Amino acid sequence: MPSTVLFCPADGVHSDEWPSKLEALLNRLGLPKMGRRGDLIGIKVHVGEGKKSSYLGPELAAGAARGITALGAKPFFTDTCVLYRSPRADAVSHTRLAAEHGYSLESAGAPFLVADGLTGAYEEEVAIPVDGGKRLMVAGLARRARGFVVLAHPTGHIITGLGCVIKMLGMGLASRKGKLAMHSVAKPFIRRKACIGCGECALWCPVDAITLEKGKAQIDSSRCIGCGECLAMCRSAAIGFDWKVSSESLQRRIAEHALAVVHRREDRFIHVAIGLRITKDCDCMQDPGPVLFPDIGLLGSADPVAVDQAILDLIKERSGKRLAEWSYPKIDPTIQLAHGEAIGLGSRAYRLVEVV
Ligand code: SF4
Ligand code: SF4
């Protein structure tokens, strides 16, 4: 039985109209049944990183907050701490950044709360029906809220090829331990000939695994946590990953953590892909590159896998090329979808219903 994905196309829509379009889409997706008076309902967002980062502005998320408030429930914006050096690495600086970017009670109608606590250690262990009951660590708030609206901004991604709903759930709502478990298989190596010894990678490595020896970077793989920050910061293409193995393993683990977040609470989640201003790199990057093609629109469903499949299909249909051809051709971003389907996170088969 295919999942239903509602699609609000971008054709002819003015940017001012998106918040009310989102509100209407959420209502069609069952938001009014999600919460009662007093219930705590999370809105998973990404508040951006640097000035050039292409995160979704708070205007859209405010539309979701309005819809939840209208039920008498209590909305809050949320995200987790990241592993790398960033204004999002701890709850205090993350909350400050959120407020600077408009994600606050005053600006957008709901407070911003970090889902995994001050330093990423507020968590809950969840056993999922994979490999005889794998136990995974997810953010505490992800399991405590009565319901969740997940607002994902689809983009290309340097390791997983696609960052959309599955990644927003799996990586974005994992605790620090969960993130480390996902990244620990992705280890980088130095291309010595290309390395110019600038030291930028060492500066950003969160665990000081990189040193400079005789003008070349060197990685202590026993310390490396596989966060990929060095890869993102190197401007000389001197850091390599075993893409096939690393990307595949990471995508599979992300899908499993996504299942851990929603397990036994699937009906309490609404997943939306905001297919606007799609860039080569994700919202974590200081510079995600230019917008790749015209806006697609909003897609929403109760099924996270179906939303990700639908956005990939619509990108190909409307832009003439697959997302990978626009961004990272060597990475197959559908591994996370295929594994998600195999473990019961959702279905890649869907029925697209256009709404206006
Ligand atoms: S060496 Fe490892 S831990 Fe350090 S930035 Fe690179 S991937 Fe991250
Ligand atoms: S950032 Fe790149 S070029 Fe600079 S030291 Fe690190 S690996 Fe070498």
For the chain, which residues make up each domain, given as ranges?
3-182+245-354, 188-241
Ligand 2 contact via 209 beta carbon (within 6 Å): no
> How confident is the model at residue 104, as a pLDDT?
95
Q: How remote is the CA of residue 216 from the centroid of ligand 2, in Å?
A: 7
Q: Which atom of ligand 1 is nearest to the CA of 210?
A: 1
Contact criterion met (CB below 8 Å) for 210 and 202: yes
Q: Which atom of ligand 2 is nearest to the CA of 212?
A: 5
Read off the pLDDT of each residue in 168-190 and give the average, rounded to a whole number.
87
Read off the pLDDT of each residue in 199-227 and give the average, rounded to a whole number.
93
* Closest C-alpha to ligand 1, atom 3: 224
For residue 185, name the pLDDT band (cuts at 50, 70, 90): low
pLDDT(244) > 60: no
> Higher confidence at residue 9 or residue 235?
9
Low-confidence winner among 51-60, 101-110, 128-137, 334-343 (lowest mean pLDDT): 51-60
pLDDT(269) > 90: yes
Q: Considering the chain, what percentage of its residues have pLDDT values greater than 70?
A: 97
Mean pLDDT: which of 75-84, 175-184, 230-239 is highest?
75-84
Contact criterion met (CB below 8 Å) for 245 and 202: no
Please state the CATH superfamily assignment of the domain spanning residues 3-182+245-354 in this structure.
Answer: LarA, N-terminal domain (3.40.50.11440)
> How confident is the model at residue 172, as a pLDDT?
97
Q: What are phi and psi of 4, to 5 degrees?
A: -95, 130
* Closest C-alpha to ligand 1, atom 6: 230
Read off the pLDDT of each residue in 135-147 and give the average, rounded to a whole number.
95
> How confident is the model at residue 288, as a pLDDT?
84
Ligand 1 contact via 297 beta carbon (within 6 Å): no
Q: How remote is the CA of residue 225 from the centroid of ligand 1, in Å?
A: 6
Low-confidence winner among 186-190, 207-211, 220-224 (lowest mean pLDDT): 186-190
For residue 121, name the pLDDT band (cuts at 50, 70, 90): confident
Read off the pLDDT of each residue in 310-326 and give the average, rounded to a whole number.
97
Task: Give dist(CA 225, CA 209) in Å, integer.
Answer: 9
Ligand 2 contact via 205 beta carbon (within 6 Å): no
Ligand 1 contact via 230 beta carbon (within 6 Å): yes
pLDDT(159) > 70: yes
Ligand 2 contact via 69 beta carbon (within 6 Å): no
> How confident is the model at residue 234, as a pLDDT?
85
Read off the pLDDT of each residue in 329-341 and give the average, rounded to a whole number.
97
> How confident is the model at residue 210, as a pLDDT?
98
> How confident is the model at residue 49, as a pLDDT?
86
> How confident is the model at residue 187, as a pLDDT?
79
CATH of domain 188-241: 3.30.70.20
pLDDT(309) > 90: yes
Ligand 2 contact via 219 beta carbon (within 6 Å): no
Read off the pLDDT of each residue in 273-290 and give the average, rounded to a whole number.
88
Task: Give dist(CA 238, CA 153) in Å, integer.
Answer: 29
For residue 170, name the pLDDT band (cuts at 50, 70, 90): very high
> How confident is the model at residue 184, as a pLDDT?
67
